[in-house]
């Protein structure tokens, strides 16, 4: 499929160089294996990795002042976002809008692995539990 969504001549590079940073250490224990603040890459998004092998477990209820997008890479999860409950599985994404408290749990069986994209140059969070 050929895509031509915009004219490349209309975009001027802003002078930032390409950048690289390590997101996670695969040997690290625990559900949070790593994160990269957008500031490290001179961008406006922060990326986290989260995973656990225990059905029923997940992050505590929390809130951010910006949107968060969850990419389910492996397994199945139940998200509680505001007053909504959303089940999602590998290959699906879930939006946690700014200001809405949210959490999720591993539905099992097996591992839940997510890539969490915070639309902010820094990870800013208030835990509510």
Domain around 36: 30-124
Residue 66 contacts residue 119 (beta carbons within 8 Å) = yes
- CA angle, corner 123, sides to 102 and 108, nearest 5? 45
Report the pLDDT value the prediction gives residue 1, as an integer from 0 to 100. Answer: 80
In a domain, 17, yes or no: no
* Structure confidence at residue 68 (pLDDT): 97
* CA-CA-CA-CA dihedral for 45, 95, 25, 32, to nearest 10: 120
Name the token pair of 67: 């949107």
Residues in the chain predicted with pLDDT less than 70, given as ranges, are none
The total number of structural domains that make up the chain: 1
* Cα Rg of the chain, angstroms: 16
CATH number for position 88: 2.60.120.10
Beta-ladder partners of 77: 88, 106
Per-residue confidence (pLDDT) for residue 108, from 0 to 100: 96
Q: What is the pLDDT of residue 58?
A: 96
78 lies in some domain:
yes
Taken as a whole, the chain contains a residue count of: 129
Compute the distance between CA of residue 115 and CA of residue 51 in angstroms, rounded to an integer. 9
> Using one digit for the tens of pLDDT, what is the confidence trace for 76-96?
999 999 999 999 999 999 999
Tokens of residue 94, six digits: 């879930």
Classify residue 20: in a domain, yes or no.
Answer: no
Does the residue 13 lie in any domain?
A: no
pTM of the model: 0.87
Per-residue pLDDT at 55: 97
Compute CA 29 distance to the chain's CA centroid, rounded to the nearest angstrom.
Answer: 19
Answer yes or no: is 5 within a domain: no
Q: Burial code of 86-95, b = ≥16 C-beta within 10 A, e = fewer?
A: bebeeeeebe
So what's the pLDDT on residue 107?
98
What is the model's pLDDT at position 113?
95
- What does the block give as tokens for 100? 């809405």
What does the CA dihedral 94, 44, 40, 101 come to, rounded to 10 degrees?
-40
**Percent of the chain predicted with pLDDT > 70:** 100
């Amino acid at each position: 499929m050929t895509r031509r969504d915009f004219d490349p001549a209309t975009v001027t590079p802003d002078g930032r160089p390409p950048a690289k940073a390590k997101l996670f250490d695969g040997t690290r224990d625990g559900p949070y294996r790593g994160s990269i603040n957008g500031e490290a890459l001179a961008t406006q998004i922060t990326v986290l990795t989260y995973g656990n092998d225990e059905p029923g477990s997940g992050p505590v209820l929390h809130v951010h002042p910006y949107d968060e997008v969850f990419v389910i890479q492996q397994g199945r999860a139940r998200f509680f976002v505001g007053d909504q409950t959303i089940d999602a599985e590998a290959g699906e994404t879930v939006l946690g809008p700014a200001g809405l408290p949210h959490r999720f749990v591993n539905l099992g069986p097996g591992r839940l692995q997510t890539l969490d994209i915070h639309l902010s140059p820094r990870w800013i969070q208030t835990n509510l539990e």
